[in-house]
Each structure stands twice: as structure tokens, then as C-alpha cells.
A and B are shown apart, each in its own frame.
Chain A
């Protein structure tokens, strides 16, 4: 929003004031305006059609086919979907992915608290804090995963070393089926916190100070102000972040791929069944075992999942999101 204001200010300075009393001339219609428009749109339009729109339809088609070992595929009707419905591995991956999505939402209240703290008037060092919180957001996920793999190491990891100070013997976090999923959720929340804080901070800064002053005159304390003023006015940002968070978690891949190992290493990790995600399973089937028809059916199921969840969120938003 700041950007737009800057742009508008720059624009105003450059526009000559209209001559007083003079009737504004209407701009002439361009000949072939539509032609220029199509020409300008063409590169992106063709690129999106070839690499994105057509592939979606193709993937849909592939989900009804079976791939031979030497390429080539044949139509098998609903076979992949029948196999999918009976596949315990797929079901487990769906459950894991849903858990990642739901538990990931716990990062939202945390981000709101930090954003509210950063929004306090006369606070010094806001940009420093913001930069520090943002480092994990800009760090390569592969690097993040490696660092946490090391921190979570059962024998020498910093997490367990710190726990041992309190006499607690920590588990092998990402190799233990009981803790792996939660350990990964914590990393997801940690890595996304800075992004969410920035969105919430922008939302908070858009709330006029007068609203708080009016609430204070009405005798509302900090908690009441937060509930009656901040939360309702921040609800569009909360909605935006929760939709993005769920869509992102449903597609989780990088962290699990690096932290739990890939290929053979993944197969030997006892916690793998508890953290394998839908996209991870898709990658495995499509590019490791080259079972592309089945892989296509898996991502079609993911698409349905994302559409359903987003639709639910949009439906629920009427109950709690306030657009000023």
C-alpha cells in the first residue's frame, strides 16, 4: 500500500494542472487498441497456456492412465482412483498433510502477538526486529531443513543438549514416529512466522489510532481494545494468512524431503510414514518409481483437497471477517 501512495505522489507531481475553465479534451480512441492488447498479453498468455493451463488438463488425463516402464501410457479408466482409495500409504499421507495444515495454523496467533508488540507506538528498533524475524523466510528451505536436522539430532543436537541442562533426555526428534510430525510443524511455524508478522504489521498499521482513542474514552482496557478493535479490523489479514498457510502446508515438500531423507534414506527412516506428505508421495511415485498415472491421481486428490479447504474457509469468512 505504501508503494501505491508513493506512485500516486510521483504521478501527481508530473501531471500539469488542467487549464482553468478549459474543457478537458477526450482522448482519441486508438485504432487497433485490442490488437496491441493481445500482442502485449501474448508472451505470458502462451507461456501460461503451454506450461500451466494445458498441463493441468494433461495431468487430469494422465490420472486415468497407466505408464509402462519404457514410456507410453494406456487408458485404464478409474483404476488409479480405485487403488488410491484402498491405499493405506496414501491415506496416511493425507492424514499427515491435514495435520500439517491444521497445526500450522497455530503460527497465526503467535504472529499476531509479535506484530501487535511491534506496532506499539514509539517502539524503537522495529526494523531490526523485523529483519531478524524475517531471516528464516528468505533462507533457502533446503538450508533451513539441514540446520534443523542438525539441531534435532538425537545425540549431539542443540535441542537435546539444552534439554539435558534441565535433566530431560530428548528423543531422536525426526527419526521418532511419536515426535517427527510435531518437530516438523515447529520448523514450519518458525520459518513462516516472519512473513505472517509482516502481513499483520501492515494490517495493524492501517488501523487508525483514533479508533483506539475512542475505545479508551469508552473505558476499554488493552484486552478489550484488542478484542473489539484490533481483531475485527485485522480479520481480513488473518483470513488471507490462514488461506495461504493452509494452501502452503497442503503442498509441503522441501522440509520433509531434506529432513527425513529421500529415496533409500527415506525408506530406512522409521518416522517416514508419519511425516510423508501428499506432494512427497507424488514426487516418489512420479519421479522415483516412475508410476506417473498413479502420481497424477494423487495430485488430483490434492487439488480437490485444496479446493474444498479453500471453499470452506471462504464460506466461514462471512461469520468472522469484517471488511471495513
Chain B
């Protein structure tokens, strides 16, 4: 009796979860199906479900946009921002977590204050800086502000604080200096933290729209987000092509996430339960 009731409850749990998961997944399934239909079939009432396997919709994305260039731009921007943040943030985070110096609390407070300000407050002056440098419509303009992150410092500092002090003290007894300890002791131990931050930065960078939209208006210099957004204004009725384009643009990150899911989830849960 009790067992069958428990089984029933488990079935109810799965039923609810499957329903929820379906609501999450069906939009993407419909996106995929639409991307392989002719426009005529995509706009049929009542709708057809089976695709026409019209792969030329995907080829057309490359004709409407410099999609290859934009894909490369997006990858370069994400790689540069990630490399910059992993290096710079870990350096600062180590100093805040382990070194003693006058003004430590004040400086850390200043860093944290950046976290509380909405990005819209930064962009006019950032735009002016890029215009003064002559960097508008270049990848440098998209990359530069994203090399630095208060969030990254905060996340990695929390991570360093969780590592046992005996380790760096042992290295210190052996005569290692701060740089040696940072590079040879702390960084190797912080790999899970670095990986989590790296994935978060790649994701944020790949999906970012606001800043790339502002600094780069030349299609050849745009990232995928901005490029796709520009597409919908002009060709707003050709949904199969739009679905193909948005699928191609978002797929890499979805794949990366699925492969690295464990680390990614840890990063989220970590930042969500420690701050």
C-alpha cells in the first residue's frame, strides 16, 4: 500500500517535471522545425508539423548576413574577454584573499560598488572613450571594457578564501614569494573556480547585445547577437530563415553548456549561495 502510494507520488513528480521540461523545449523544437520549412508551409493554418528539409534556409542566412565574419567576431571577443578576466581577476582576487596591504577593505569595497551599478550608466562615457581612441566599429571596442570584471574578482576571491591556508604558508616557509605562490600554488588549486568563471564569461560575452549594438554598426564588425537583431528589422516576415539564423547563432553555447554542464551549474550555485 505505502509502496504503491510512493510510486504514485513519484509518477506525479515525473509527470509535472516532464510537463515543465516540455514547455522549455517545445519552443526550440518548433524553431528547428520551422527552420527547415518553406515559408508557405511555415505559415499554413492549421500548421504542418513535418519539415520540408529545406536546408537552403541555412544557406540563405549566410547571404543575408556576413554570418561567417560575425561568428568569428563573436568567438574572438569571447576568447579575449575570457582570457583577460581569468588572468586579471585571479591576480586581484589572490591579492584580496591572501595579501595584507593598506586600503584593502576600501579598494575591495570600491570594486564591489561596480557590481551594484546598472551597465546603462557606463555606456555613454565608454562610447566616448572608444570614439576618442578611434576604435568604433572594431573588435577592440567590444572587447576592451569586458577584460575587467568586479564580479570575476568577487567570485575568485570567495574561491581562494575557501582554500586551506596551510598550503600557501607551507610554500612561504619554503621561501616562495607572492608571485610564485599565486602562479604555482593558488592557480592550479583554483582550476574549478577558473573554469566556472570562464564558462560564465564565455556565455555572457557570446550572448551580449547591449554594448556590441552600441559600438559597432558595421555588419562586418558586429557580433552574432547584434547581427541577428539587425536582421529581424529588415526581413521580419521570413521566419524560416530567421529561425535558421538564430539556431546557428545560439547552438555553440548550448553545446558547450551541455558538455560542461556540471562545472557550469556549480558556478551558478556557487555564486548564488555564497554572496
Interface residues of A (CB under 8 A from B): 1-4, 6-8, 10-12, 14-16, 25, 27-28, 30, 33-34, 36-38, 40-41, 43-45, 47-48, 50-56, 58-59, 62, 114, 117-118, 120, 122-123, 125, 127, 129-136, 138-143, 146-151, 153, 155-156, 158, 161, 164, 190, 193-195, 198-199, 201-203, 206, 236-237, 240-241, 247, 250-251, 253-254, 257-258, 261-265, 279, 282-283, 286-287, 292, 295-296, 299-300, 302-303, 306-307, 310
How far, in whole Å, are A50 and B43 apart by their CA atoms in the complex? Answer: 50
Is B72 an interface residue, CB under 8 A from the partner?
no
**CB contact under 8 A between A51 and B145, given known A1-B273, A149-B232:** yes
Contact of B167 among A15, A36, A136, A279 (CB under 8 A): A15
* Residues of the A chain whose Cβ atoms lie less than 8 Å from the Cβ of B247: 143
Pair B121/A303 contact, Cβ less than 8 Å: yes
Interface residues of B (CB under 8 A from A): 10, 13-14, 16-17, 20-21, 23-28, 30-31, 34, 42-47, 87-89, 91-92, 94-96, 99-102, 104, 107, 110-111, 113-114, 116-129, 144-145, 147-150, 153, 159, 162-164, 166-167, 169-170, 172-173, 177-179, 182, 189-190, 192-193, 196, 203, 206-207, 209-210, 213-214, 224-225, 228-229, 232-233, 236, 239, 242-243, 246-247, 249-250, 253-254, 257-258, 261, 264-270, 272-275
Pair A140/B232 contact, Cβ less than 8 Å: no
* Residues of the B chain whose Cβ atoms lie less than 8 Å from the Cβ of A138: 203, 207, 253-254, 257, 264
Grouping DSSP codes into helix (H, G, I), strand (E, B) and loop, the B interface class, with mixed when no group exceeds half, is helix
Pair B167/A142 contact, Cβ less than 8 Å: no
* Residues of the B chain whose Cβ atoms lie less than 8 Å from the Cβ of A264: 233
A18 (CB) vs chain B CBs: closest residue: B166
> Total number of A-B contacts with CB less than 8 angstroms?
335
* Residues of the B chain whose Cβ atoms lie less than 8 Å from the Cβ of A250: 118
* Residues of the B chain whose Cβ atoms lie less than 8 Å from the Cβ of A292: 124
Contact of B121 among A44, A59, A117, A150 (CB under 8 A): A59
Pair A261/B28 contact, Cβ less than 8 Å: no
How far, in whole Å, are A134 and B110 apart by their CA atoms in the complex? Answer: 33
How far, in whole Å, are A283 and B211 apart by their CA atoms in the complex? Answer: 10
Pair A161/B243 contact, Cβ less than 8 Å: no
Contact of A258 among B129, B164, B229, B250 (CB under 8 A): B229
Pair A147/B246 contact, Cβ less than 8 Å: yes
A261 (CB) vs chain B CBs: closest residue: B233
Pair B272/A55 contact, Cβ less than 8 Å: no
Grouping DSSP codes into helix (H, G, I), strand (E, B) and loop, the A interface class, with mixed when no group exceeds half, is helix
* Residues of the A chain whose Cβ atoms lie less than 8 Å from the Cβ of B159: 3-4, 7
Contact of B229 among A136, A203, A262 (CB under 8 A): A262
Pair A36/B178 contact, Cβ less than 8 Å: yes
B80 CB, nearest partner CB in chain A, Å: 13
How far, in whole Å, are A285 and B26 apart by their CA atoms in the complex? Answer: 37
How far, in whole Å, are A27 and B165 apart by their CA atoms in the complex? Answer: 12
* Residues of the B chain whose Cβ atoms lie less than 8 Å from the Cβ of A287: 127, 214
How far, in whole Å, are A16 and B213 apart by their CA atoms in the complex? Answer: 54
* Residues of the A chain whose Cβ atoms lie less than 8 Å from the Cβ of B239: 150, 153, 156
Pair B167/A41 contact, Cβ less than 8 Å: no
How far, in whole Å, are A230 and B134 apart by their CA atoms in the complex? Answer: 56
19 further contact pairs, Cβ within 8 A, besides A131-B261, A156-B239, A190-B24: A2-B266, A8-B163, A11-B166, A34-B102, A36-B95, A37-B178, A41-B92, A41-B96, A56-B117, A59-B124, A120-B10, A123-B13, A133-B24, A138-B264, A149-B232, A190-B23, A237-B273, A300-B121, A303-B117
